[in-house]
Chains A and B, each alone.
Chain A
């Protein structure tokens, strides 16, 4: 059950306002440089790496707002800019009330000190006064379920306990705006549930939460709106489902582009055309489950190559290969091959519901001495709709029998009540 469906669509007042924000970082050169170069580098203004370009959005009161995007898109930087940890290059950021960033669980904890003192130190860092921090210490310990370990030094805590403590402090500092970076993935299920409850509680009390995550599940579950950062820009802003879907698409695209090009781009051989056999022009068709996937490819080999092979593969939405078809020589028996080819393939389909890609590329035969030619592959994305449970990858026939009479006998024999 999604909490946001019960909320009225009328947005509350703006609590985070980000206008045309640009951010870049100075880059440092390699580790080893001749002396003269080093001196020169220190003196000159080095090259800058753009991290965010023209980012504009706002978040409203009582809203849980998701930020998604591939690694290096600038998500964490954006969070740190809102938190005021880094200064912006240009643009404007405004926020309402106390902003509490949780970039990493347990930042600033001192391992040599016991929990109690760490809580007070951390809470003051987060913005409470010393008196407030002292008053809330017991509450924080209780929330973290660490009552039995208050006198233990933090270095003897497990990482899970430390994470719980960090999150507990964070959720007790009366933040009006809470910025959470990818912490839901660290704990166990109980911890994640707790995080979820805190976030839901913030929403109910009319606070604001910004959530950075790689997990589309938690974005869908918690967020009212989401933003996709791609290539340092806001690519999409809207419903979390749509944004999560776009994220999967761009993420797949990015991975597949690297995959299809092999190690480096080149043009000795190229897949010039690639399509589904039933010639629909749809960009991303939805295919029925358990029906073979049929594709056709046009291949052009531009200079004579020694025994090139063609390879088909199926990948999941994240670009991980699920199936790699055995290599098929383009022209068996011939020493040197060039020219144009049309290839068709029929691949058995046992995929469960979800989004996938099929890829075609030309490669060297594995048993030959590699010439190291370059080739450009192509890929198609598609969706499968089948009745099995979401979250699985393959759809297999299964039969499950339960014999309840035996179970009772076993329990009695083992003496388990």
Chain B
């Protein structure tokens, strides 16, 4: 064993897995590859493909709309009720699916996590990225449907992709937390099921903030998701609706959900990075 063609390689410390791995290039390559593969597998390769990704929120919208409008006669006084409901449901369903899939992401890839070394954060992030891709497509179809509802596009509609991006970031952060929390505590499924149900009714999705009593409004506006839906409502389906600042009762009050959302993002990120090295053995 004397002379080998290549020079001797330097020893490097083996420190166990981390959230990000060793090089940035590898992280992004893996993230992109697994997201695209997931997306293709879920939609392109299914018989009706992307059709399903779109139909789920639209069917939900149809049912909710019929139920509220025809049976409960609710929403008649709300300007552009149907398009608002459609848009809100597309957005919220994205949030719900991303967090639910994200929660199980690490556990469902147990084999990979326990037998290969790669940046751990790729797994929950790729789940979110896959979901974000279908959200993007859904919003394009949603845009066409808004036109079909007879709405005229304005410059303020450009806020919609921005609001969607904020929602994607928030949903991803929550997924990061849930993915590790679920490994530690399987009861998270039940807990998160309840919380996301509360969020569904506690966010102006089926209703607008204007239609609820002003005494409850500040409570609804504590929810970090609420400002996103209020902003989208004003920007797209009813320019005359109140602003998020008005709904919250001033900038000071609006800071509460914003700080809460940022806090949740920072905490989730920190928690994931802290727990990532040990997650393989906790599975």
A binding-site residues for B, Cβ under 8 Å = 7-8, 10-15, 17, 25-26, 42, 60-63, 80-88, 92-97, 99, 101, 103-104, 107-108, 110, 112-113, 117, 120-121, 124-127, 129-130, 176, 205-206
Contact = CB atoms under 8 A, between A and B. Distances in A.
Interface in B6-47: 6, 8-17, 25-26, 29-30, 33-34, 37, 41, 45
B15 to A, nearest CB: 7
B29 A93 contact: no
Interface stretch (B110-118, B205-213, B226-234): B110-118
B52 to A, nearest CB: 16
B14 A94 contact: yes
A103 B118 CA distance: 14
A85 B8 contact: no
Nearest to A63: B1
B277 interface: yes
Q: Which 8 A-B pairs have the closest CB atoms?
A: A87-B16, A206-B4, A96-B9, A94-B11, A103-B115, A97-B9, A93-B14, A13-B8
B41 A81 contact: no
A83 to B, nearest CB: 6
A110 B33 contact: no
B71 interface: no
Contacts of B281: 25-26, 86
Contacts of B26: 124, 127, 129
A15 B9 contact: yes
Nearest to B278: A87
Contacts of A126: 116
Contacts of B13: 92-94
Given A129-B29, A130-B29, A117 B117 contact: no
Contacts of B12: 94-96
Interface in B79-134: 111-112, 114-118
Contact of B17 (A60, A61, A84): A84
A85 B280 contact: yes
A16 B56 CA distance: 52
B116 A11 contact: no
Contacts of A93: 13-14
A369 B98 CA distance: 65
Contacts of A25: 281
Given A8-B2, A124-B30, A125-B116, 19 more contacts: A7-B1, A26-B281, A26-B282, A80-B115, A82-B14, A85-B115, A85-B117, A86-B16, A86-B280, A86-B281, A87-B277, A88-B16, A95-B12, A99-B117, A107-B116, A110-B37, A112-B45, A129-B26, A206-B4
B116 A61 contact: no
Contacts of A205: 4-5
Contact of B41 (A10, A103, A112): A112
B116 A17 contact: no
B27 to A, nearest CB: 11
B115 A101 contact: yes
A95 B112 CA distance: 22
B47 to A, nearest CB: 13
- Interface of chain B, main secondary structure: mixed
A108 B1 contact: no
Contacts of A42: 185
B4 A107 contact: no
Given A61-B1, A85-B17, A113-B41, A17 B6 contact: no
Contacts of B41: 110, 112-113
B33 A121 contact: yes
**Residue picked from B45, B118, B185, B278, most chain A C-beta under 10 Å:** B118
B168 to A, nearest CB: 24
Contacts of A92: 13
Contacts of A8: 1-2
A60 B1 contact: yes
Given A87-B277, A107-B112, A107-B115, A206 B17 contact: no
A100 B222 CA distance: 49
Contacts of B111: 104, 107-108
Contacts of A127: 26
The residue among A13, A63, A110, A126 with the most chain B CB atoms within 10 A of its own CB is: A13
Contacts of B277: 87
Contacts of A63: 1
A81 B1 CA distance: 27
A95 B14 contact: yes
Nearest to B112: A108
B132 to A, nearest CB: 20
Contacts of A95: 11-12, 14
A96 B114 contact: no
B1 A12 contact: yes
Given A42-B185, A81-B14, A84-B16, A121 B116 contact: no
A138 B266 CA distance: 44
B25 A85 contact: no
Given A86-B16, A87-B16, A121-B37, A206 B30 contact: no
Contact of A96 (B11, B30, B112): B11
Contacts of B8: 12-13, 61, 96
Contacts of B15: 84, 87
A95 B37 CA distance: 32
Nearest to A106: B111
Contact of B117 (A17, A61, A62, A83): A83
Contacts of B280: 80, 85-86
Nearest to B8: A13
A296 B15 CA distance: 56
Nearest to A104: B115
A185 B26 CA distance: 32
B280 to A, nearest CB: 6
Interface in B264-283: 277-278, 280-282
Nearest to A14: B11
Contacts of A206: 1, 4-6
29 contacts: A10-B2, A15-B9, A60-B1, A61-B1, A62-B1, A63-B1, A83-B14, A84-B16, A84-B117, A85-B115, A87-B278, A93-B13, A94-B13, A95-B12, A95-B14, A96-B8, A96-B9, A97-B9, A99-B117, A103-B114, A104-B111, A108-B116, A110-B37, A112-B41, A121-B33, A124-B30, A124-B33, A125-B118, A206-B6
